[in-house]
A and B are shown apart, each in its own frame.
Chain A
């Protein structure tokens, strides 16, 4: 492999590794010393080739390729800096209607309010507010670039709980184990291993009846195994104790249907609630500009008459 081939190959590799930060953000690899070392080596290789080719060491075509290599260098430097100085991947969670500060972004994340329908559809809103700026909505299924960060939403299991007593009176739901005390929305911050699987777990309290309830989240597939009613809906398995720890009972609550344990009646609407992922990634504008220069330079070397040189052979003058 000659210098030109090596340079183009390394350029493609560096572009690919940088593009990966935008296509698959949040991957741990981008913040490792190995990634930084790889990008540094690529930058050195590309700079060395570009400098010698600009001096004419690789002929007229080499000069054009050197221009393309500068485009690849732009991308590679962006990728290196993003991995080195961009923020580590952060998962930002919060209950509906609450605000979570994110010091790394000097911003606060607003999680929109959610009713049972919102939880079932999984389309609650998330917006970001930095001091002195208007709130920026983070699009569901889309991505948002902010400086050296890429922001996107992922869904986490959620359940909207409505608790009633035997007479049908609605009761307050609290979450003594969560930072947000008053919230009827469970976000399952823990996991419970059962046999060979792990299931999302949360706890809520119904102080009006002195009940503490552990809720295990079963997906639609898992629920069919447990659901005696044959429902294909996701379900909660509820384990109810009184506040002295005495077991009251166990029941399965399919999504949207009332289930009772003693005098406690629970309707759980299951679905998802968003959480925000903040990962480092170079801005797409940088990648587009760099790619255009790379394609333009390398393309010109092979398209413009007289600029082409057989690959694998040393440059010769006629």
Chain B
């Protein structure tokens, strides 16, 4: 047993001085907006330009094209006319276009919307909650939500009118 005791003590000492076990860090998993396809669409209550509270989940039952944008973003400015045209074409089919301004004041977003003749609802996401939840890796980011409230597509970057039609098509055809 003395021999055993010696082994135990020596191994214990070796163990105490090792100090080099493996440790890993997994940080902020984000595969971009496309990685959210199929997931339930997160929703947050925020103010609209007109001061009323609104949220994505209030449009359950409609196909929603949600566009995350900001006034300082040049591709967002270029994309606005196509978004407005898409809204005019599709609102009668039950498609909702939601513009979600990221982190700016109502004054800035309102002036921008008026200057671009925007008629679809604009939400003011002061805390950028939608941007984070939808794994935005830049602006603009577009997310398509089906009638059941699930994300069908998440797209990073500016879209043309044709790309918007193509992105919404499957959700619109699905019952």
Residues of A participating in the B interface, judged by any CB pair closer than 8 Å: 1-3, 6, 10, 13, 26-32, 34-35, 37-38, 41-42, 45, 88-102, 113, 115, 164, 168-173, 178-184, 189, 207-208
- A94-B27, A171-B103 in contact; A29/B21 too (CB < 8 A)? yes
Given A38-B8, A113-B127, A181-B137: A90 and B25 within 8 A (CB)? yes
CB-CB < 8 A to A207: which residues of B? 70, 72-73
Residues from chain A with a CB closer than 8 A to the CB of B127 are 113, 115, 184
Say how far A89's CB is from chain B's closest CB, in angstroms: 5
Chain A residue numbers with a CB within 8 Å of B136 are 181-182
Interface size on B, residues (CB 8 A): 49
B132 in contact with A95 (CB, 8 Å): yes
Q: Are the C-beta atoms of B71 and A97 separated by less than 8 Å? A: no
- In the complex, whether B135 has a CB less than 8 A from a CB of chain A is yes
Instruction: List the B side residues contacting A169 at CB < 8 Å.
Output: 104-105, 107-108
Which residues of chain A are near B8, meaning CB under 8 Å? 10, 13, 38, 41-42, 45
Q: Are the CB atoms of A41 and B7 closer together than 8 Å?
A: yes
Cβ-closest chain A residue relative to B156: A181
A182 to chain B, nearest CB (A): 3
* Stretch of B10-18, B147-155, B166-174 contacting A (4+ beta carbons < 8 Å): B10-18
Candidates B2, B23, B133; contact of A97 at CB < 8 Å: B133
Contact A94 B104, beta carbon cutoff 8 Å:
no
Instruction: State whether B26 touches A208 (Cβ < 8 A).
Output: no
Give the chain A neighbours of B44 by CB distance below 8 A: 113
- B104:A208 contact, CB within 8 angstroms: yes
B4, B12, B128: the one contacting A182 at CB < 8 Å is B128
The complex places the Cα of A30 from the Cα of B14 at a distance, in Å, of 13
Residue B131 at the chain A interface, CB threshold 8 Å: yes
